[in-house]
Amino acid sequence: MRVLGIETSCDETGVAVFDSDQGLLANTLHSQVKLHADYGGIVPELASRDHIRKLLPLIRESLAYANLSKTDIDGIAYTGGPGLAGALLVGAAVGHSLAWAWNKPAVAIHHMEGHLLSPLLESSPPIFPFCALLVSGGHTMLVAAKRIGAYCVLGESLDDAVGEAFDKTAKLLGLGYPGGAALAKFAEQGDPKRFCFPRPMLNRPGLNFSFSGLKTYTANTLREHGLEAAADIACAFQDAVVDTLVAKCRRALQQTNLNRLVIAGGVSANLALRAQLKIMGVQENVQIYYPRLSFCTDNGAMIAFAGCQRLMAGDRADSRFNVQPRWPLSSLSQL
């Protein structure tokens, strides 16, 4: 089966074509970083309008790159949620319109399932069952995955997600938007021994996360020591986040008795996190899997792949399409 995938959940327009026999045939992406940078964060209305401008040209580009026509496509997959409502509606409307016009089936894909399955696009994919740490945008969660669609959420963020905490802290430090990568780079200049920030919720049982208090602690430290200590503060903040994520991953693996761990989402590209997880993997005899760096952020390839699996299993979107800005991962149907 050959599936056209559309991703428009937030601030990246992604289109890809995945073939169940030949693999990924095309993958195109347009980022809105420059569009939102002047505002210090994502402006939903601007995001939606930019998706409208870019989506059809990217679809044409993807089909041309793969040397395909509409008759070569067997199904359409689009991100149905979670995400920004207006942005999601752009992808859903275009996806459904193409499906109706081309007389092809369509399916709505959960954005976080796309991230969870993205390492399966690699040459050495993980085998089910496995644990997954999903750290993308407004989401931070630990998931036990038995098979596609059979997901048990073990823990999630009670307030700010990791990506949000990185961006807000970067803004406090004057690093601009988007802040995650900039803060990680800036932290390399800091003294890791100068400050020791709290590791939130590690002294409590369970696998939930909370990073709003760490953000406040960072702001108070900055207020006390000033911008001359900014690099040291960035280093301490990142160390606290990484230690917390690694400790919760270790706890999740021990509780589930699993020895495979998937890390996906934008924060999975963080080099400090990868370094500490590698150490933990050796200590716990755990295999760790990541998507390639270009698939850590939002992309159409993960939607096309997940859509292909669901369409082959018989999943279909309702003709009266809808999007779900909030969509529990555990509510998905099992394949």
111 is in an annotated binding site: yes
12-19 and 2-7 beta bridge pairing: antiparallel
135 is in an annotated binding site: yes
Chain centroid to Cα 297, Å, comes to 6
95 is in an annotated binding site: no
Chain centroid to Cα 95, Å, comes to 21
Q: 């020895």: which residue's tokens?
A: 259
167 is in an annotated binding site: yes
115 is in an annotated binding site: yes
SS (H, E, C) the chain: CEEEEEECCCCEEEEEEEECCCEEEEEEEEECHHHHHCCCCCCHHHHHHHHHHHHHHHHHHHHHHCCCCHHHCCEEEEEEECCCHHHHHHHHHHHHHHHHHHCCCEEEEEHHHHHHHHHHHCCCCCCCCEEEEEEECCEEEEEEEEECCEEEEEEEECCCCHHHHHHHHHHHCCCCCCCHHHHHHHHCCCCCCCCCCCCCCCCCCCCCECCHHHHHHHHHHHHHHCHHHHHHHHHHHHHHHHHHHHHHHHHHHHHHCCCEEEEECHHHHCHHHHHHHHHHHHHHCCEEECCCHHHCCCCHHHHHHHHHHHHHCCCCCCCCCCCCCCCCHHHCCCC
Residues facing residue 253 across a β-bridge: none
139 is in an annotated binding site: no
138 is in an annotated binding site: yes
206 is in an annotated binding site: no
213 is in an annotated binding site: no
33 is in an annotated binding site: no
91 is in an annotated binding site: no
Binding residues: 111, 115, 134-138, 167, 180, 270, 298
Binding site members for substrate: 134-138, 167, 180, 270
Binding site for Fe cation: residue ranges?
111, 115, 298
